[in-house]
Amino acid sequence: MNIEHEELFHPWGTVTPDFWGLQHEATQEQSVARIPQVLRGRLTEIAAKAASGLLPDAAWMACQLDTEVTDEYGPEHLNTVHIREIRAHLAYLAGDHATSLGWYLHTARLRATIQGPGHPDTEEATRRVYSLWRTVPDADAPALGTELLGAVTDIHGPEAAVARRTRQRLQALADSREARSIT
């Protein structure tokens, strides 16, 4: 498989108003109510701050909301996952790839715990984090890729497509680094 021609997913797909509104259906595994209107209003405020270029303010607001949502719903709840995915995206927008990747790995693991490793949302979450990793500068990619490989192997197993692609990309990075050191 040629790594250079594989499909890349954006950090969370295409951002739509539904994402910020968090209009996500309850899963069969856990009864999850839609995010209350007051939280949707706060997410709209965070989105407005981010859109106006005030990423540090948006990140701070998301951090505060994360604390409140976690206190109310607990750490293993889809509402908590949603706000943490927003924190990951804000870190991505700010250019902080390591933090963004860390949050996305965290939320992929949470989704695997809450929804199961085979759930489409979990699979999509691991594809997003892999695609985000592909955008990381080569200097940072090996360390972050090792972390990614551990997570996707834990979630999907060592022979899952995302684990194989991660190993292939890590090998290509190592080969490239070795070739540069020889010349």
Structural domain contains residue 94: yes
Q: Whose CA is closest to 128, among 147, 150, 153, 103?
A: 103
pTM of the model: 0.76
Structural domain contains residue 1: no
Structural domain contains residue 167: yes
Structural domain contains residue 162: yes
Structural domain contains residue 89: yes
Structural domain contains residue 4: no
Total number of domains constituting the chain? 1
Which range of residues forms the domain containing residue 91? 9-182
Instruction: Name the CA radius of gyration of the chain, rounded.
Output: 17
Per-residue 3-state assignment (H helix, E strand, C coil) for the chain: CCHHHCCCCCECECCCHHHHHCCCCCCCCCCCCCCCHHHHHHHHHHHHHHHCCCHHHHHHHHHHHHHHHHHHHCCCCHHHHHHHHHHHHHHHHCCCHHHHHHHHHHHHHHHHHHHCCCCHHHHHHHHHHHHHHHCCCCCCHHHHHHHHHHHHHHHHCCCCHHHHHHHHHHHHHHHHHHHHHHC
Q: What is the CATH number of the domain that holds 162?
A: 1.25.40.10
Structural domain contains residue 66: yes
Structural domain contains residue 2: no
pLDDT in tens for each of the 183 residues of the chain? Answer: 444 445 545 555 545 545 545 444 433 333 344 566 778 889 999 999 999 999 999 999 999 999 999 999 999 999 999 999 999 999 999 999 899 999 999 999 999 999 999 999 999 999 999 999 998 888 889 999 999 999 999 999 999 999 999 999 999 998 887 777 776
